[in-house]
Amino acid sequence: MGRCEDSGLESVILDKSYIRNMDNSSKGTQLKFFKDNIWYKQNRTGYEGMAEALCSLLLSCSNIENFVRYEECKINGRNGCRSENFLKDGEECITLQRLYEYHVGGQLQDAVLRFENIEERIAYVLAFVRKAADLDFRDYLARLLTFDMVTLNIDRHFHNICIIRKEDGGYWEAPVFDNGAALLSNFGIFPVEEDLEKNIARAAAAPFSGSFELQARAMGLGFQVRADIFKKLKAWPDCRAKQVLLYQLKRYKFLVV
């Protein structure tokens, strides 16, 4: 089953003046709009908006408190999602790639892949963030990579891992956001007619390894889920995104507390 029933989604009409450019490094760049401090993203490759909404539900039952809440909607007749702008006045979202370009130059991904093992790759990034932003990023990254292991987010590259630069020049962790590539949402990569387990086996992680488990375990499995997630999922219509999440929660049941 590819999608949930969407007939009840709220519909918004946004003209071209509200379009904002996307970072083309993402898998399946979505059309993005910004109006009245709300971000809107249209689906492009599958059910990205549904994936965002389900990931928000999962995060609401987890030990991650700082995350962006997404809800599904229709944008100019096309399915998608929306979320409130998480930046306050005087704040700016800085990707790790952008931070690296400013302080070192070049591609952070290339620098990371020069190291042979995952632990060295992670240590390099943690040391860089500590030096460039005076920020201890370990716990945040541990939670994020374990969350990605559960949700199978294939798009967690260094353009999608961010910190917030404050007006006074200090830095802080950004909320967890941009999970639209999770839960096998891309029909081009994960065909609906393909067996669920085969599609899950096809999912490749980023940015330290193609294995979700290897990079999450290297960070220490920092993500935990409360058991009430199952009660909340019962109220969610059946669809592939929900099936994937339930499969993953059963697979990693040791994370459920």
49 CB-side CA count, 13 A: 26
Predicted pLDDT of residue 1: 35
Predicted pLDDT of residue 167: 87
Output 96-100 pairs: Cβ under 8 A, ≥24 positions apart.
96/125, 96/129, 96/158, 96/161, 96/162, 96/163, 97/25, 97/157, 97/158, 97/159, 99/128, 99/129, 99/132, 99/133, 99/163, 100/128, 100/132, 100/158
pLDDT along the chain (257 residues), means of 10: 59 95 59 97 97 98 98 97 96 97 98 97 98 97 98 96 93 96 98 96 98 97 97 96 98 98
Distance of CA 82 to the CA centre of its chain: 14
Predicted pLDDT of residue 3: 43
Q: Which two tokens mark 157?
A: 């590259």
Predicted pLDDT of residue 2: 40
| Matching residue, tokens 């229709």 | 74
Predicted pLDDT of residue 6: 60
Model pTM? 0.94
Predicted pLDDT of residue 27: 52
Predicted pLDDT of residue 30: 87
Predicted pLDDT of residue 38: 98
